[in-house]
């Protein structure tokens, strides 16, 4: 495995999204270092609209790079409460800081949605080998 970073306080999906638990049932979502590395230089990010209600696995946007276009999938069911508007002007934040300033959107989890449905860092990194 490469020397890419995978913080152990996050939850992960098989589609290479990360989820950070926040306050009041809100989680922050982005793509992993593996995903941004595979994509190459990100040039455009299409995000869901605030207020959108999504189911786990729904396509909620796209990340366009110099190599390809990849769908963004919602890791859990919920309502989009915030999007990272900084990505409109500076989509390269996804490459330079995927777990910080390059986050994508925040989701208020639907009743019954659980972070337990996601992978921990050990399971995620094992899936990359």
- Residue 52 sits in a domain of what CATH number? 2.40.50.100
Please check whether residue 4 lies inside any domain of the structure: no
Given a contact cutoff of 8 angstroms between Cβ atoms, the answer to whether 17 and 11 are in contact is: no
* pLDDT value, residue 87: 98
* pLDDT value, residue 2: 52
Please check whether residue 128 lies inside any domain of the structure: no
* pLDDT value, residue 42: 98
C-alpha distances out from residue 82 to 19, 29, 51, 105, 123, Å: 14, 10, 8, 6, 28
Q: How confident is the model at residue 88 (pLDDT cuts 50, 70, 90)?
A: very high
Residue labelled with tokens 């777990």: 99
Domain range spanning residue 21?
A: 11-119
Please check whether residue 1 lies inside any domain of the structure: no
pLDDT digits (tens, 9 = 90+) for 38-66: 999 999 999 999 999 999 999 999 999 99
Please check whether residue 115 lies inside any domain of the structure: yes
pLDDT digits (tens, 9 = 90+) for 5-21: 899 999 999 999 999 99
Please check whether residue 65 lies inside any domain of the structure: yes
Give the tokens for residue 46.
């299409």
Domain count, the chain: 1
Please check whether residue 40 lies inside any domain of the structure: yes
């Amino acid at each position: 495995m490469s020397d890419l970073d995978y913080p152990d306080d996050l939850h992960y999906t098989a589609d290479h999204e990360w989820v950070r638990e926040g306050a009041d049932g809100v989680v922050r979502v982005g793509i992993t270092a593996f995903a941004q590395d595979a994509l190459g230089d990100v040039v455009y990010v299409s995000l869901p609209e605030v207020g959108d209600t999504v189911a786990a696995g729904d396509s909620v946007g796209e990340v366009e790079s110099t190599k390809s276009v990849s769908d963004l999938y919602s890791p859990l069911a919920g309502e989009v409460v915030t999007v990272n508007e900084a990505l409109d002007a500076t989509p390269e934040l996804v490459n330079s800081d995927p777990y910080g300033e390059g986050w994508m959107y925040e989701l208020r989890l639907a009743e019954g949605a659980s972070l337990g449905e996601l992978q921990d860092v050990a399971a995620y990194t094992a899936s990359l080998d």
